[in-house]
Amino acid sequence: MGDESTPGSGVPGDLMMDRPHMARVYDYYLGGKTNYEADREAGDQVLAAWPGVRTAARTNRAFMHRVARVLSEELGFAQFLDIGAGIPAEPNLHQIVQEDDPCARVVYVDNDPLVLAHARALMSSSPEGRTACLEGDLTDPDSVLGSPELGRVLDLTRPVALSVLALLHFVPDDRVAYGAVRRFAAALPAGSALVLTHGTSDLAPEAGAAGQVYTDRVARARTRSREEFARFFDGLELVEPGIVVPHRWRPYRHPGACIGGEQDVADAEVGLWAGLALKP
């Protein structure tokens, strides 16, 4: 069975072209085409505060490519739940894992109708696998976990790889952020995986200043320290090499820290922590 995305009527009428949009600014950093002048202007203001933000976005994306292959090829995962999917940028998660296992099942979740419209228009599953794009919010786990769409694609009695990449720094309230991750982890069975990346000013103090610009121009944001990031994995077992900057996480899997070519990247340019953990 193929694509099971909820039927979409296309892009919503209000594209919010006159104001920056979080997913489109990120698309701009990735070199995508789904962004407008307001997004590029806001993105450039963040770049002025922290020039590494573009490298951070691309390195984060490259980490997703590698960790998806590790989850599928090495750890045998066939079910994936991606919270905060963002605007599609090939290769997408389902394309990577279904290349290894055509029967793999992937559910993308986002709280933005604009993102979902793009995703439903551009993403399709392998014939043997399933994909779905559903509306939901990281901060409301029960609405996602209880969604009939989710249940039609994923079997929550079997291990699921949950990914929340470059999203938790947009949840500034610690109680809400940690509570949401704990709720998702608790709902998934033993053997499931949690993959996270998060912005930090540990390595690049200017990342904190960029976060303030982002808050002022695009969306509320805050960095967290390595110790604060590690708390998201409480009760889980980190997979080697543990918590590291994303381009140091098993770079031998696929050379090249950034999209578009091989290059060595300084940790301070990235300003992200990354990790993969398993639920015992």
pLDDT tens per residue, range 246-280: 999 998 765 544 444 445 788 888 999 999 999 99
Whose tokens are 């578009």? That residue is 260
pLDDT at 143 over 50: yes
**Structural element, H or E, at residue 93:** helix 93-100
β-bridge pairing 161-165 and 105-110:
unpaired
Q: What is the pLDDT of residue 62?
A: 92
When comparing pLDDT for 67 and 13, which is higher?
A: 67
Instruction: Give which of 69, 4, 63 is closest to 244, Cα–Cα.
Output: 63
Instruction: Give which of 106, 105, 178, 190 is closest to 138, Cα–Cα.
Output: 178
pLDDT at 1 over 70: no
> What is the per-residue pLDDT across 190-240, written as a single tens digit (0 to 9) for each?
999 999 999 999 987 777 777 677 677 777 888 999 999 999 999 999 999
Could you tell me where the DSSP H helices lie in 128-280?
Answer: 141-145, 148-153, 174-187, 206-217, 226-230, 267-270
